A and B are shown apart, each in its own frame.
Chain A
Amino acid sequence: MENFIEKFAETIDTEAEITPDTKIADIPDWDSLSVISVLTMVNLEYDKTLRRAELQKVVTVRDLYELVTQ
């Protein structure tokens, strides 16, 4: 999870503190470009292509981590 959070923060280029409970939509730098950047990171690092419907259910960073690693 730590490793994932590090990659996640690096991908969206944020200095905000990110924890497993951080609500993704509340991250100040979060926007539609961040979504694309995270999608590509997840695809490269975890070999997974996330669907829109799956992503729409994600609220926290932990939710995303679980989706990516399930």
Chain B
Amino acid sequence: MDKIFTGVKIAAIATALPKERLILSTLAEKFGAETVSKIIKSTEISELRIAPAGKTSADYCLEAARKIFDAGIVAPSQIDGIIFVTETPNYRLPHTSAEMQAVLGVPHRALTLDINYGCAGYVYGLFVASLLLESSYCRNVLLCAGDMPSKYVNAEDKSTRLVLGDGGSATILTAEKNSAPSVFTFYTDGENLDKLYVPVGGFRAPSAHGVTDILKFDENGNGRTLEDVHMDGMGVMNFVMRNVKNLVAETLSALNLSVDAVDLFAMHQANALIVKFLAKKIGVGAEKMPFAAQKTGNTTCATIPLLLSNLYAGRNENLRRVLVCGFGTGLTCAAGVIDLSKAKIFPPVEI
């Protein structure tokens, strides 16, 4: 099933964050100082960015896109495809990428496509963008990946409230012959969908006032309603332990790459516990598989571009073989190898 792309260049990556911070130590009174400090020690996440009312995931992605346009790397008039990866769209319908076309002044002939995806979503976006370029319909694809999971977190649920934050990103992928090879692999375990999901609010189980919005506490003292995100930490961890290393190995072998030949493992920044576990499991050090979401937390599909933006802006000329890997809702995992040495990577902006 390996599809090796050789006609795709990643031209630019930019990110944007809410300027509003949630300092997690301020929740000590609510959840208990010892509990909060223990969680922070393990996740290493001490701050989150939280989008205020009126701002959406798309707003942060658009700001990131403007950063790239303003730098003159590509003009909106040259964009012929927009992909928006999110679990928090602007509307129930239509897809938000249609609105992005108008807001950015992208030509009407552009293809617009939303992908409803969480933590593995950035890698899906890269793959679909590569397919669009390979199809020749598109020459320049704007891939927006952003989310605001804080909006479906219950304030009483420390298991999600202390890790999930908001942010957005924009990546430009351009058709260019004889580019460095890239490849992607995917894994889906829909049977374990309920390990990380929002049970109510879709069309299978619509919200019902007085029924689905009742706060209940679990045996760990975490409170949530059926309309909030439910995370089974053990279920997610078991999925990660069983599948991520294998998928990474398959992805590398598709290009005959050894672990040592990889310049950077840009993993989904769920929390430090998971990233450190994966580093040990795969057998690489923190310098090759960094965790850098201490001040932003788990922003689902935006963590990989935020990692790149935080640590490698202006210093990515040697990132020729970058393993990107996301895992989470679905449950799913997606991995890919991409070349970032020709990309212009911008540091995060705040709005």
Nearest neighbor of A52 in chain B, beta-carbon distance:
B234
Interface of B is mostly: helix
Chain B, residues 232-263, CB within 8 Å of chain A (1/0): the string is 01110110011000000000000000000000
Query: How many chain A residues have a CB neighbour from B under 8 Å?
Result: 16
**Nearest opposing residue in chain A for B281, CB measure:** A44
Determine if A60 is an interface residue (Cβ-Cβ < 8 Å).
no
Check if A40 sits within 8 Å of B238, measured CB to CB: no
Bitwise, A28-64 to B at CB < 8 A (1) or not (0) is: 0101110111011001100001111000000000000
From A33, A39, A44, A49, give the contact of B42 (CB < 8 A). Answer: A33
Closest to A29 in B: B38
- B220 contacts A44, C-beta separation under 8 Å: no
What 0/1 readout, one digit per residue, does chain B (10-52) give for beta carbons within 8 Å of chain A?
A: 0000000000000000000000000100110110000000000
Query: How far, in angstroms, from A20 to B237 measured CA to CA in the complex?
Result: 26
CA distance in complex: A34, B41 (Å): 12
**Chain B positions 279 through 300: 1 when the CB is less than 8 Å from some CB of chain A, otherwise 0:** 0110000000000000000000
Cβ–Cβ contact A40 & B234, under 8 A: no
Q: Do residues B241 and A36 form an inter-chain contact, with CB atoms below 8 A?
A: no
Please tell me if the beta carbons of B39 and A39 are within 8 angstroms of each other in the complex: no
Q: Are A39 and B38 in contact (CB under 8 A)?
A: no
What's the Cα separation between A35 and B242 when bound, in Å? 17
Interface string of A2-44 (1 = CB under 8 A from B): 0000000000010000000000000001011101110110011
Q: A40 with B159: in contact, given A31-B220, A33-B38, A33-B42 (CB under 8 Å)? A: no
B277 adjacent to A40 (CB under 8 Å): yes
Q: Out of B35, B159, B241, B280, which one reaches A39, CB within 8 Å? A: B241
Whether B273 lies near A36 (C-beta < 8 A) is yes
Which B-chain residue is minimally distant from A41 (CB atoms)?
Answer: B277
Distance between A24 CB and nearest chain B CB, rounded to angstroms = 14
Apart from A32-B234, A33-B38, A37-B42, 12 more pairs, CB < 8 Å: A29-B38, A31-B220, A33-B233, A39-B234, A40-B237, A40-B241, A40-B273, A40-B277, A43-B277, A44-B281, A50-B238, A51-B238
21 CB contacts below 8 A, A to B, read A29-B38, A31-B35, A32-B220, A33-B39, A33-B42, A36-B233, A36-B234, A39-B238, A39-B241, A40-B241, A40-B273, A40-B277, A43-B277, A43-B281, A44-B280, A49-B238, A49-B241, A49-B242, A51-B238, A52-B234, A52-B235
